[in-house]
Amino acid sequence: MISVDNIIAERLPKLNTSSPLIKTPIVRFLKYLFHEREFTHFEKSYPHLTGIDFVEQVLEYFEFNSLVNDRELFNIPDEGKVVAIANHPIGSLDGLALLKLFSKIRPDVKVVANELLWTIKPLRSMLLPVNNMAGNTPKENMRAIEEHVENGGALLIFPAGEVSRLSPKGVMDGKWRSGFLRFAKKTKAPVLPLHIDGKNSIFFYALSLLAKPISTLWLIDEMFKQKQRDIRIRIGKAIEYENYANLEIDKDRLIALFKKQVYGLAKKRPVEAFKAGFEALAHPENKKTLKRDIKQCQFLGSTQDGKQIYLYQHNSESTLLREIGRLRELTFRRVGEGTGRRRDIDQYDEYYDHLILWDKDEFEIVGAYRMASINTVRKHYSDTGLYSETLFDFSNLPEHISKQGLELGRSFIQPNYWGKRSLDYLWQGVGAYLQNHDNIRYLIGAVTISNEMNLEAKTTLVRFYQGYFPCHDQWIKAKTPFEMQHDVGAHFRFDDYENEFKQLKAKLKQEGSAVPSLYKQYAELCEKDGVAFCAFNIDADFCYCVDGLVVVDMERFKPAKRERYLTPVLEN
């Protein structure tokens, strides 16, 4: 693992040709300094260990522990791309301790490591090598790092590329390299700041001031001085790509801000420019617990491919709503939406019904719909009312809709099940729900347009749906109306839906967007005048998305849609 003879052959080849009087004492000293005997004994004792098992055994050998606030562990995203950055106060065991901690949440984590660390073969499965010393890292190594992040991996990097040293401000990293920022920007990954509170000996810092290159040789000896010590690790909140990429400052200033953010964690002083941003997603609920809790719900039926549909009503002891809220937020963020909180859960979830599509093989919630009888809410929850009333003025809502209406919303299919007919199955679940609520005639709800769509694309979409599916009675008004560009979409004649829908799709594709699936689905449910898009509102609490208020009269369902969704199709 550590062989002085190999190091001399690679780094100091001229020493091998020196006189024994010179070579022998130097080799003996290096073997002592590098603790070669201890390393050899460790390697012989645990020849089978690799990866995280090796890391844990090393930390166990040194009785070296890390202390962390349990709440801060939730700041580590449990999935998806992330670039984690940290200071490097010890230059050895601190990196392994952080790797162990991170791997508990992200088993896929890999560390950017220099060529010296790469010589430790049991660690190689967790490393992505660079050449910090020579500064000429091969292009294929750089691509491997980018691909790991781009593919949704977690990357841990120490931007200084070396151990912290004594400075006028205390023990701090030297100048940070820009590699972490390059990887994060190129992959549009969030950056997760981490701070390690640790230190080496006074002798090491004194030697660093006198002879910095020589002090590096003492790092292994310093590592052995860390026996039976603890370090504290602070985990900050992830800084989303949009939060740092849009700052109008140069690269060096941005790197300095990230460094300040890392060191600010120790004093709980976040950088002002990074304060705003999304919280890290909550970690998934235990699958066995989810399986237990789903069995307490009302079973509505099974789909053709074996998925199950349940009706869940709020139970404070159940984990289902917590997981629904997590998956909602995860899904909405993927399309430029979301609340920014760890879970998308609000006060309405407590008294709304929840339709759940369940994968019994994977113990996973595939998707969900939230719904409530308008009449029931107005009778029993008049203080808080309907969710849609936070966006639209319902003061003139007609009585027949109030008494026979069902509000639908917060629908999602989690990304792992996109493109697998899951939304269609949810609608079959809605049909099964309606069979037990035959007093319902109208479906009403907010349908979202992502803020990732530009203004011209939004205007084109809104003009199309308002033109083909108008609300003839202006009884619903948006509280923060979406204002369309006057000249956009004026070419629509509203006399040929199929042809102009093709034009709409082409225009949105040109703008890098697409028709939201629920707009298409709602629009094609009914015969003429069965669907209306009544108003469009800007939702400041949901990434400034645009919500269209849709009203559907189920008595005007097309025969094929009635057969598909309102006739029993689920297997009991």
Strand residue runs (E) in 215-295: 230-235
Q: Specify whether 3 is located in the same domain as 124.
A: no
Residue 280 belongs to some domain of the structure? no
E strand or H helix at 104: helix 93-105
What CATH number has the domain bearing residue 112?
3.40.1130.10
Please identify, among 247, 274, 301, the residue that sits at the C-terminal boundary of a domain: 274
CB-side neighbour CA atoms (13 Å) of 153: 20
| Tokens 């098992």 belong to residue | 53
Q: How confident is the model over 220-260, as pLDDT tens digits? A: 899 999 999 999 999 999 998 888 887 778 899 999 999 99
Residue 482 belongs to some domain of the structure? yes
Q: Which residues lie closer than 8 Å to 248 by C-beta, 6 or more apart?
A: none
Residue 57 belongs to some domain of the structure? yes
Q: Specify whether 257 is located in the same domain as 136.
A: yes
Q: Specify whether 37 is located in the same domain as 75.
A: no
This model's pTM is above 0.75: no
Alpha-carbon distance 170 to 172, whole Å? 6
Alpha-carbon distance 80 to 73, whole Å? 16
- Print burial letters for 280-308: b (CB count within 10 Å at least 16), e (below 16): bbbebbeeeebeebbeebeebbbbeeebb
- First and final CA of the chain: distance in angstroms? 61
- Of 342, 193, 340, 197, the C-alpha closest to 270 is 193
The reported pLDDT for the residue numbered 304 is 87
Q: Specify whether 40 is located in the same domain as 54.
A: no
Of the listed ranges 37-41, 194-198, 394-398, 442-446, the least confidently predicted one is: 37-41
Q: Specify whether 32 is located in the same domain as 67.
A: no
Alpha-carbon distance 514 to 445, whole Å? 21
Q: Specify whether 5 is located in the same domain as 114.
A: no
E strand or H helix at 429: helix 422-435
Please identify, among 248, 274, 300, the residue that sits at the C-terminal boundary of a domain: 274
The token duo for 362 is 């994977």
111 in Cβ contact with 126 (< 8 Å)? yes
Q: How confident is the model over 422-459, as pLDDT tens digits? A: 888 898 999 999 988 989 999 999 999 998 899 999 99
The reported pLDDT for the residue numbered 215 is 86
Q: How confident is the model over 317-327, as pLDDT tens digits? A: 899 999 999 99
The token duo for 359 is 């994968």
Average pLDDT, the chain: 90
Q: How confident is the model over 8-54, as pLDDT tens digits? A: 666 667 767 777 777 778 778 777 787 888 888 888 999 999 999 99
Q: How many domains is the chain partitioned into structurally? A: 3
Residue 357 belongs to some domain of the structure? yes
Q: Specify whether 225 is located in the same domain as 305.
A: no
Residue 282 belongs to some domain of the structure? no
Q: Specify whether 145 is located in the same domain as 188.
A: yes
Alpha-carbon distance 169 to 313, whole Å? 56
Range of the domain at 171: 47-274
Residue 292 belongs to some domain of the structure? yes
Q: How confident is the model over 71-125, as pLDDT tens digits? A: 899 999 999 999 999 999 999 999 999 999 999 999 999 999 887 788 788 999 9
The reported pLDDT for the residue numbered 520 is 93
Residue 571 belongs to some domain of the structure? no
Q: Specify whether 403 is located in the same domain as 509.
A: yes
Q: Specify whether 328 is located in the same domain as 382.
A: yes
> pLDDT band at 134, cuts 50/70/90?
low
Residue 281 belongs to some domain of the structure? no
What CATH number has the domain bearing residue 437?
3.40.630.30
Strand partners, 311: 298, 355
Q: Specify whether 9 is located in the same domain as 88.
A: no
CB-side neighbour CA atoms (13 Å) of 50: 7
Q: Specify whether 401 is located in the same domain as 435.
A: yes
